[in-house]
Each structure stands twice: as C-alpha cells, then as structure tokens.
Amino acid sequence: MYQERPSRLAGAVVWTNTPTGAGLRPVLPDGCMDLLWHEGRLLVAGPDTRAHRPDGPPTPWAGLRFHPGTAPALLAVPAHELRDRRVDLTDLWPAADVRRLRARVEAAPHPATALEELALERAAPPDPALRHLVTALAAGRPVAAIADELGLGVRRLHRRSLTAFGYGPKTLARILRFQRALALARRGLPYAATAARAGYADQAHLARDVREFTGTTLTELLR
C-alpha cells in the first residue's frame, strides 16, 4: 500500500510503499527527485524522462520526494548527472558520512520521517527563480516569456534547468503537462476533455506523450 503526506520541507512529500500485490507499479516522470530507503540502503532517484520499473520482488520502500529543482542543492550534484538513474548515496557522498546516516535511519521507528529530518538539516533555501519557473510552466506559460520575466536568456535558463531539474525547461513543461493530464484522467474526465484542459493540441497529442513517457497507453496506466 502506498501512503504519503506533505513534508515539513517546503514542497516535499514523505511517502512509504509496502506492496501487497504482485509487484511495484512503475514510477512515472514527475519532475522530481527522491531520497530513498530500501533494504538498509540509502539511494537517490534522479529525474526521470521515462517510466522506471523497479526490479526484484515487491519489498517495502520509504522516501522523500523533493519539490522540483530543490534536490541538487542538498545533494551537491547536478540533476542531469542523475537523469533516469537510481544511485547509492555513497556514490555521491563520503562513505563514512553515509554509514552514519544509514545507521540513524535504521534505528528510527519511521524511516521516512528520518529521511525528512536528514533533509531538513541539510536543505538550502529554495531558489525563487526556479520556483517561479515551475509555477509558470505548470500554468502553460511559454519558456521565452518566463526567461524574460526572470531576466535570463533562454540559453542561460536552459543551463540552469539542466542543473536543477535534469533536463531543459521544455522537457519539464511536457512532464508537468503529462502529470496534469494524468490527474484529470484519474478523476474520470474523458480523454478528449483531459487533453484540452491539460494543454494538448488534441487527444492524439496526449496519447503520443503518454506513450513516450511511459511506454504504454493512458487506459493501461489507469488500470
């Protein structure tokens, strides 16, 4: 069973997943990065551009999902280096530091809350420009207009986006639009209306994006 709650870290989500069926559901692109706890290991999930399908038997996971663009400052690694990857935290931080953190999470009654506390201790203040970018893209604003509002050129905004999100602002905008459409479809909105309200040209456009990001159809996803 999957459960989540808002984190005390701004914009983040604390979650646990204890599978009860045949396996774990695919993790879909959402513009976020996660700090994970799984079978005694601390891992980092980088930003996805396609569905990630966990390997192995269904076992419990705990995690902290960061607000888009905020994890790289805490981890001290550019997001594009982790794109479509799951890596052990020891690949990013000194092994001795990770051992101490791992022991702390292992001793905690709730590993997900322990991950949240670790992040709260190390988190940097959010970048207002990146927050504005995410909000504006989610509202469907053009990238060039957002760059002008921020006083940045499109190329400079692209470079900053690679570091913060793992990909450029146009890809982030597509992923945020896909997530909007998925939320609407899960509420039972017909696919054509979902496409229109989420900002797609038509239902076929929505279907192409779903196929590219997930490798399947919207109908299969909703099942």
**Residue 45: left (phi > 0), alpha (psi -120 to 50), or beta?**
beta
Q: What is the 3-state secondary structure (H, E, C) of 129-148?
A: HHHHHHHHHHCCCCHHHHHH
The ranges assigned to domains in the chain are 2-122, 128-222
Class of domain 128-222: mainly alpha
Say how many CA atoms lie within 13 Å of 22 toward its Cβ. Answer: 1
pLDDT tens column, 38-85? 999 999 999 999 999 887 778 899 999 999 999 999 999 999 999 999
122-131, 153-162, 169-178, 200-209: which range is least confident on average? 122-131
Flag whether pLDDT at 12 surpasses 90: yes
Give the pTM: 0.93
**21 pLDDT band (50/70/90 cuts)?**
low
Share of the chain above pLDDT 70, in %: 98
Contact 92, 45 (CB under 8 A): no
